[in-house]
Amino acid sequence: MATLAPPVPDAGRDPSPAAPTAHRRRRGGRRAGKPGPVTYTLLTLTTLVSIFPLYWTLVAGSHTNAEIAATPPPFLPNASLFDNFKLALEQAPIGKAILNSILVSGAITVGTVLFCTLAGFAFAKLAFRGKGVLLALVIGTMMVPTQLSVIPLFMMIAELQWVNQLQAVILPTLVSAFGVFFMRQYLISSLPNELLEAGRVDGASTFRIFWSIVVPVARPAMAVLAMLTFLTAWNEFFWPLIALTTANPTVQVALAGLGSGYVPQQSVIMAGTLLGTLPVLVVFTILGKQIVGGIMQGAVKG
């Protein structure tokens, strides 16, 4: 039992009779709050399973088609990676597609986070007539399948002469019902009314309260929403395929055009996919740091 307990810094130095009690309490705390070997094993397995597809993309993308098809398949990356990148870039406008996807996903993310936070704040904390009905309507839109709106949407962008233009992909998804609901729930639970009242007494306008008090408090949720939105927008395939042409595609549309000969060229597809995934990994790394809990700690005594 003693070997399982974490080192207690004061245990050796503190000869007072209170020490054993403190020790026991810490061990109890460890059992309740800190993970044990089983948790670590499970987490390690989950991590490996999650990482494997990405690793396999790297391995497959760095071999030729014949090498991947061999038995047993290769398990380590190879030097052909850059040749495959080159092939992929020749077969589809992946560079342009990545740029397009960054523009589209970036705009959608900024728009969604901003508008959903604004709407979520209004639904969570402001009093106005018809609030309940409006919220029900917003949530109700989640029940309408995307496919249903494709034809009217296409007619609209055709009317606006936006076919094959990026705004055709950006504008329809600039705000999401899920995001509004998500921000509302977060603000209801994390933003005490007293903070808003303190702001009002301090002389802040509603917009100032939003900007100086609500946004800092909502930052962790905004980061989560940003990450989810960026991923969804980046992976979107159906609507960009319809609204854009292969000459001006997003990443997913461009990847679909890769290795589409008589025999699919797995290695080129994988190399292209790897290229298309890198920006997402960068975004994930940046935003992951933003998701810091405990920002509300100390605002109100509780």
Among 13, 129, 289, 301, binds another protein (CB under 8 A): 301
Q: Output the smallest distance, CB 94 to another protein, in A.
A: 41
Among 145, 152, 293, 302, binds another protein (CB under 8 A): 302
Q: How far apart are the C-alpha atoms of 9 and 20, rounded to whole Å?
A: 13
The residue among 157 and 223 lying less far from another protein, judged by its C-beta, is 223
The residue among 94 and 218 lying less far from another protein, judged by its C-beta, is 218
The residue among 16 and 297 lying less far from another protein, judged by its C-beta, is 297
Applying CB under 8 A, what is the total number of residues that bind another protein?
Answer: 25
Preceding amide of 72 cis, omega within 30: yes
The residue among 147 and 297 lying less far from another protein, judged by its C-beta, is 297
Among 151, 286, 292, 300, binds another protein (CB under 8 A): 300
Sites for another protein among residues 159-218 (CB under 8 A): 192, 194-195, 197-204, 208, 212-213, 216-217
Give the amino acid at 272: G
Q: Output the smallest distance, CB 180 to another protein, in A.
A: 23
Sites for another protein among residues 240-299 (CB under 8 A): 294-299
Applying CB under 8 A, does 155 fall inside the site for another protein?
no
Residue numbers at the binding site for another protein (CB under 8 A): 192, 194-195, 197-204, 208, 212-213, 216-217, 294-302
